[in-house]
Structure 1
Amino acid sequence: MILREQGVVVAVARDGRHRFGKPTTTAIRLVPGLGVEGDAHAGATVQHRSRVRRDPTEPNLRQVHLIHAELHDELVASGFEVEPGQMGENVTTRGLDLLSLPRGTRLHLGGCILEVTGLRNPCSQLDDFRPGLMKAVLDRDEHGRLVRKAGVMAVVVEGGEVRPGDPIDVELPAGHHLPLQPV
């Protein structure tokens, strides 16, 4: 079942080099099975340097990184200067609770389809960017379980171009919904 216009694309970003932040741009092209054209993390197998060192043959479940603009709002209210792309995301969204989506959710945006694979596991590079940011994107729920707020990762199912202003429709997976885990 597709839920219509649940969110909107606020910004898109890519970088051909392995750096923490990514500059925003007017559009990105998504390539099925690979990720964002021209981005250092695009590829069928893992591209994040730490994961390549462990096993370069693992499938790339982190082709596209999405962060909700509401997290940026929360961080700015806490005194951090953060703008779209600066935390390494390719797509900044608004109006969509990315963290509560089940694994396998399909996001329809700009004529493309992304499949959510899991949570981004925040790393210490956040503190290199803004001291204290790592702690700010981690929280605890009412049961004391760790909550990772640094966005979600996805793979490209159907490619095309994505631009700021594109609506995002949500297609929940059939059957039992599995919660997101770090990938």
Structure 2
Amino acid sequence: MEELPSVAVTAAAGVQGDFRGVVRQGPDGRKRQPRRQVSLIELESWHAALHDLHISEDALLPWHARRANLCVSGLRLPREAGAVIVIGPNCRIEITMECDPCSRMDEIKPGLMAALAPDWRGGVLGRVLDDGEIAVGNEVRIEQ
């Protein structure tokens, strides 16, 4: 995982540099945009999970240990498919589902998978509706 100050997010490729977001051809020959194109987590939810594991403030794991593409702060992400998040002036991402924590989280810290499970703490997954260059500090808002 790598933290970047800015990155391109596109409907064709998801977050630049992450192969999981690339649109691929399905078995029927049509191109399909993945439902798991972009993953987002709230910094507050990440810290709440770590707090539940009694990890001290000086030993907090960085948010990217969660392996999410993007981290937002000061905003509660929607807990429903179909909601749209806007980042910066024009990047729009539709929430498709909850991002369930996987067993890799327990490899990072025993108990982390369970600590991320309640109330969508593991984050959300989405697909890109409108391309955009996004940067740390951009405004993030809920459109619908």
TM-score exceeds 0.5:
yes
Q: Distance in 2 between matches of 1:163 and 1:73?
A: 22
Q: Distance in 1 between matches of 2:33 and 2:120?
A: 22
For residue 26 of structure 1, what is the aligned residue in structure 2? Answer: 5
Offset at residue 33 of structure 1 (A): 3.8
Following TM superposition, the consecutive aligned residue runs of length 4 or more in structure 1 with deviations greater than 2 angstroms are 75-78
Aligned to 1:179: none
1:89 aligns with 2:39: no
Pair 1:108 & 2:86 matched: yes
Alignment CA distance shift 1:168-1:159 (3 Å): same
**Quick check: which one's helix share is greater?**
2
TM-score, structure 1 normalization = 0.66
TM-fit CA distance, 1:44: 1.6
Letter paired with 1:71: S
- The letter for the 1-side match of 2:69 is N
Q: Which residue of 2 aligns with 1:74?
A: 48
CA contact (8 A) 1:23 1:86 kept: no
CA 1:136–1:90: 2 relative to 1, 3 Å? same
**Alignment match of 1:132 (pick from 111, 116, 120):** 111
| Structure 2 stretches lacking a partner, 5+ long | 26-30
TM-score by length of 2: 0.82
Count of residue correspondences:
133
**Deviation per residue, 1:22-60 (Å, 9 max, x gap):** 2211111101143111113121249xxxxxxxxxx8751
Q: Deviations over 1:66-87 (max 9, x none)?
A: 0000012213433173212111
* 8 A Cα contact 1:99 1:149, kept in partner: no
Q: Distance in 2 between matches of 1:137 and 1:76?
A: 9
Using the aligned pairs only, state the percent identity.
26
Contact 1:72 1:82 in 2 (8 A): no
Instruction: Name the CA shift for 1:130/1:58 in 2 (closer, same or farther; >3 Å).
Output: farther
Unaligned stretches of 5+ in structure 1? 1-21, 47-56, 140-146, 173-183
Matched-pair contact (CA < 8 Å) for 2:91–2:132:
yes
